[in-house]
Structures are given as C-alpha cells and as structure tokens.
Amino acid sequence: MPIEIVCKIKFAEEDAKPKEKEAGDEQSLLGAARGPAAPRDLATFASTSTLHGLGRACGPGPHGLRRTLWALALLTSLAAFLYQAAGLARGYLTRPHLVVVDPAAPAPVAGFPAVTLCNINRFRHSALSDADIFHLANLTGLPPKDRDGHRAAGLRYPEPDMVDILNRTGHQLADMLKSCNFSGHHCSASNFSVVYTRYGKCYTFNADPQTSLPSRAGGMGSGLEIMLDIQQEEYLPIWRETNETSFEAGIRVQIHSQEEPPYIHQLGFGVSPGFQTFVSCQEQRLTYLPQPWGNCRAESGLREPELQGYSAYSVSACRLRCEKEAVLQRCHCRMVHMPGGHPTPCQTSVPPRQGQVHVYDNMDSLGGGSEGPCFCPTPCNLTRYGKEISMVRIPNRGSARYLARKYNRNETYIRENFLVLDVFFEALTSEAMEQRAAYGLSALLGDLGGQMGLFIGASILTLLEILDYIYEVSWDRLKRAWRRPKTPLRTSTGGISTLGLQELKEQSPCPSRSCAEGGGTGTLLPNHHHPHGPQGGLFEDFAC
C-alpha cells in the first residue's frame, strides 16, 4: 500500500515576494518548454470570426434571451442559404443551354451546295436481261422475259456484278437531261458525278469540295436549273409487291454539303413530272455543345479519316457505316452504296428458287440507322441548307407543242415525263445557330456568393477561417490522443507538498535506513536530527 508523506512549509514574510517571482518565472519557462498554447475555444473563435451573428450567438458573455434570439436568427439564415444553394446546384447540374441565332452579313460569293438526284425507278425494264431478273427477283418481283428461260434444267447464271447491273440498267443522265444551266452558263451531264444510293445509280452536281462552284448572286436564275425526262415508259411493271415496290413517278433530290454523302432515301424530297419546282436555299451553320451540355461529337484533330471510306465525319456517313456492319454481320456481304471494297451480292437464307442469288435491301430489319444499336451523334460543327419549296404546273399549251416538236414526243408524253428543277440561294447570307451554356460555373459561383452575403454575410475567407479553426481543434485532439501524459507523482498546492514514498527513496542518497539514523549530513529531513536548529533560517516551522 503506498504511503504518502505530507509536508507543510510556511515561508517567512520577507521571502514571500521573491518566492512568488521565482514561481512565475518557473511557470513561464515550463510553458515555453511545453510548446504552443492550447487551441482557442468556441467562444474566443466566435468573437473574432467574420461570420455575421456568430459572435453574438456563441461569443463570451452571459446566456440569456438575447443570445437565444441571435442563435435562432443565425440558424434560420443558415438554413435559408443552404436551401437556396441546393436549388442553384440542381439548376446547374441540369446543364441548361440556349440557342443563339445570328444572321451573318451578306457575302459577295457563297459556295453552292451539292445537289444529288435519283430517278425513283431503279432499273430500266428494257435493259434487264433474264439473268438480271433472276438475280434481282427479290427486288423487282418480275418473271423472266422468256417464259421458258428459268425452267431449263441445270440452268446456271454467272455470279452477278451489282456495279455492272446498276450501270447498265439504271437511268442514264445523258438520256434524262434535256437542258442544264448554272448561273447563266450552260452545263451538261459531264458536270455531274455518279454516286450509288438506295435508289441505285444517282448523280450529284458540284460534288467535289476542291472545285466547288460559287454562287455570285441570289434569286432565280443564279443557281442550278435543269429539265429532266424521267422516262416513265422504262419503269418496271408491278408483277407482285415486294419491300422495294414503288408506285411513284418522279425524281428524288437531296441538297447537302460536299463533305456529306447523300442519304437520299431519308433526307431527300420528291419532284413530280409536269411541274417546275423552285427550291430556295439558305446556308445554316450549326454549332452544338459537347458533353456535359450536349451530345455532339467533337472533332478528333487527326489527319486520317475518322470513318473508313469518307473524308470527314457526318451523320449520313455514320449511318451508312452502321448499315454496312449490320449487313456484313448477318449476310457476309456488302451492298453497292455502302463504303468499303468491291460489293458482293447478298443471299437470303431460304431462296425461292434453288441456287438463286438475291440482293438484300431491307435495312430496317437489320437494326441500322440512328435508332439501331449503332449510335451516330451529331457533329459539333455542321452545315446544312434550309429549303423553301414551291411549284407551278408545266408545260402550258403553247410550250407543250413546242417541246413535243423539239424532242419528237407527243404532248401527253411531255406532261407525264418532263419536269424542271430550279435550285438557288434566297440571298448570299448564312445563318449561324449556336448552342451556348445558359448557366455556367461563373454564374453559379456569383449566385452562391450573393446568397451567402445576403443570408450569413460570409465569403470565401470566412469559410477558410472556419476550416482553419476545425483543423486547429482536430490536430490538438489528435496530439493529445497520441501523447497521453503520465500520472504525476508530486503535486503542489500553495504551501503543501505531497511526496510519495517511492520518490523519497529515489531522492535519498542513503541506500539503507541506518544512514538516516546515523545523522549524516546528506539526509533529506535535517530537522529530525537537529531538533534545535537555527531559528532565523529558511524554515521557521517544519512538521511531517
């Protein structure tokens, strides 16, 4: 059992002041040795913080109704600020955007777009052979021209060449084109390029982006004006309906940029015979926002083409690539209008006749296009052409007789087969449409700063003050947890000192009890051996 010895020491009055000074000096030295002062308490921090109302709610002073009201007002203002801040954050995360329309100033010269046209009838009936009809049976549904042609035993046709079939049996522009003018200058079929689409063999005017033709004026007569004969007598007879059976007569037209391949079966418009169709165009330059504000596809910046077979990315090129991949995966072949190598004919899984080869031409069941598994985002920079279409009937009675004599046709043929297409710019101005972020990061920070100043009178520096105080308190508690002080063996209060027995043994120079009883001079308690010691020394009274 530990034994404690309590010693009461009473100093002389003349030594009281020097002792107090020495004790103060010792405490200052001990404080300097112990390190930095303890962290500020909450009341001290609140009284010096720049957060409005915190000093009146949590600062030093008596607690009362006034402090309670200030604390309630501070909490209410803080709740209102957090509510407003949450609303601003939700509005920012929705990524709102707006569209800015900016009509550009008139330009002296504007690049004329590419104009692609296709006859709705794919194959001329007079140009088809029995072998062609045999290979194209699932498209045309026609019986052979020779009744016994497909019944011969062991009849074998050579493998079809679809490029050759389309070139031979498609409508030839040299036969269809009756007149052509561009900006007052004569043009011919040599100014058109052959392109293959879902309608077969088609033709594009002004297709080369390197030699794009300019338009120097707006209005009628300043663009492309052509007269065509659609050759209805060459249209295929309908023997039975197929997925590709067409009941229309006329041409399909698409106006697009030179970097974009024609996607005429979805983006084109029809022109009927017996009418002159006026197409007034306006160039529109569209700029979309990338993620996270929009879904456009930004340019990669690479020199090599982004899509195989095309010089630039476009939605039409991406859709054609999707269709090609779907056909390759299912049929192990490629159609003529799809990008890639030499096209090969596609076979159906169960052909209607033994050994018969068919061209598969139903893209909807393959899942291609923008709604299929292949997603084609819109490019961030896009040029398109707005159109306004109007038409008048042709020919009138006088011109019908003239055209009949000129082209050696009757008036009925002229009315049923001839059409005029006039494509021109309304004006040499372009329209810029740009998506812009309606609520950006700078706007969010400005609104948060305004709400913070309105409700709690704080700023970024105020938040740094709070974080600094939290760090100071947390770091002090961690240091205390890491360095737990040992229980002191000696405590001093006033003039009473408590000494433990173990401490006495450590401080005593004598190893045994006999040393103390012998009256040595090194003993810790000299008055035990000198009961009649000096009276005017340091100790006036000593008791143990």
Whole-number pLDDT of residue 532: 46
Whole-number pLDDT of residue 350: 33
Nearest to 396 by CA among 501, 275, 307, 489: 275
Cα distance between residue 503 and residue 245, in whole Å: 113
Confidence band for 394, pLDDT divided at 50, 70 and 90: very high
pLDDT digits (tens, 9 = 90+) for 146-173: 665 555 545 677 788 888 999 999 999 9
Whole-number pLDDT of residue 507: 52
Q: What is the mean pLDDT of residues 280-293?
A: 89
What residues does 96 pair with on adjacent strands? none
Tally of CB atoms within 10 A around 244? 16
Q: Spell 279-314 as b/e; 16+ CB within 10 A means b.
A: bbbbbeebbbbeeebbebbeeeeeeeebeeebebbb
Whole-number pLDDT of residue 528: 45
Which residues contact residue 213 at a Cβ distance below 8 angstroms, ignoring those fewer than 6 apart? 111, 112, 182, 183, 206
How long is the chain?
Answer: 544
Cα distance between residue 86 and residue 292, in whole Å: 20
Percent over 70 (pLDDT), the chain: 70
CA atoms within 13 A on the CB side of 511: 0
pLDDT digits (tens, 9 = 90+) for 86-124: 999 999 998 888 888 887 766 667 789 999 999 999 999
- pLDDT-wise least confident of 91-95, 245-249, 296-300, 499-503: 499-503
Report DSSP state, residue 273: T
- 368-376 long-range contacts (CB < 8 A, ≥24 apart) are 368/319, 368/322, 368/323, 368/325, 368/326, 368/327, 369/319, 369/322, 369/323, 370/315, 370/319, 372/322, 372/326, 374/318, 374/319, 374/321, 374/322, 374/325, 374/326, 376/315, 376/318, 376/319, 376/322
Report DSSP state, residue 13: G
* Burial bucket for residue 200 (CB in 10 Å: 0-12, 13-18, 19+): buried
**Is it the case that residue 464 has pLDDT exceeding 80?**
yes
Q: 456, 81 in Cβ contact below 8 A?
A: yes
Whole-number pLDDT of residue 373: 64
Entry pTM: 0.67
Cα distance between residue 456 and residue 444, in whole Å: 18
Q: What is the mean pLDDT of residues 283-302?
A: 82
Q: What is the mean pLDDT of residues 295-307?
A: 68
Tally of CB atoms within 10 A around 335? 22
- pLDDT-wise least confident of 31-40, 44-53, 326-335: 31-40
pLDDT digits (tens, 9 = 90+) for 351-385: 333 333 334 444 444 444 444 567 888 899 988 99
